[in-house]
Amino acid sequence: MFTCIMDAPSPFHVDLPNAAENIVVFNCSEDFVTYDQTLPPEKQSPFTSELVDLIDEAAPYLREFKSSEARRVIASEALKQLDVELKSTLDDLSLVIRAKFLKAPSRAEEWGFSIKQSTGNVSYPVARHKRMAVLKSYIEKEESRPEAERFAEPSLESVTQLYHEMKAKIAKRDAGERARKRSYVVMMELSKKMLDRLRIAGAFIIARHFDYKITHDLENWGYVVVKRSARPSKNGEDGMVEEFAPESSPNGSLTNGTVNLNGSAEALMSVDEE
């Protein structure tokens, strides 16, 4: 690990996002490149080209992440509506079966339902996948019976349609979730690499442009400069103290007031006010 401490007593620090915030990191990288490329070539960061390559590599995965998440959400919302229809259908079916077999309620089990021994009422589970199993058993039982003997309402056709519609929505939701997870894994690795470049590029800019002093001008590159609060120190004198206690990064390294050049942790860089 190579940690570079810069202006630790400063009333400011620069806040970099966590690698897990991959969309934020991507946007920060784009902001950096957009501004840096407006400078004369001799004043540009030597890490800009690397960020450009990483942005190009990450862009399709970011699009896939967003689109797959959208598909997942749409399918999940549709399933919530179908859950209401599923419950209503099972309620209707349980009433029909109970009315048909008042003297032999246990026969409801042939259609996938359960019987409450204390009351003789026909029941079904709460979980969606278990309700789907009941619906499947009902369909299979009805299909095995002569058409003339099948229950008229709800019709077997409508019950079957509901079952297949729910299966399709579940498949879309799960496919969206799998695609989202795949793209997230890749984005996470690229996000870490982008943060590496943003850290070292920030240190380069501080040294090259601002004589080793971090200023609000860093915001031109998309860095977020945050002011620290002042409150009395332990010896009774006023001092600059963090508004929040320094937190450890995922690898256990403190991030306050440091630039972690190895990129293994989130970095907060202390700055002087101009």
Express each pLDDT in 158-210 by its tens digit. Answer: 999 999 999 999 999 999 999 999 999 999 999 999 999 999 999 899 888 98
**Which of 271, 272, 267 is closest to 2 using CA atoms?**
267
Cα–Cα dist 156/160, whole Å: 6
Can you give the pLDDT at residue 235? 55
Query: Does this model's pTM top 0.75?
Result: no
- pLDDT over 90 (residue 127): yes
Can you give the pLDDT at residue 212? 84
pLDDT tens digits, 26-56: 999 999 999 999 999 999 999 999 999 999 9
Can you give the pLDDT at residue 155? 93
Confidence of residue 233 (pLDDT cuts 50, 70, 90): low
β-pairing verdict for 238-241 and 268-271: unpaired
As a whole-number percent, the residues of the chain with pLDDT over 70 amount to 80
Sorted by sequence, the CB contacts under 8 Å of residue 54 that are 6+ apart come out as: 29, 190, 193, 194, 197
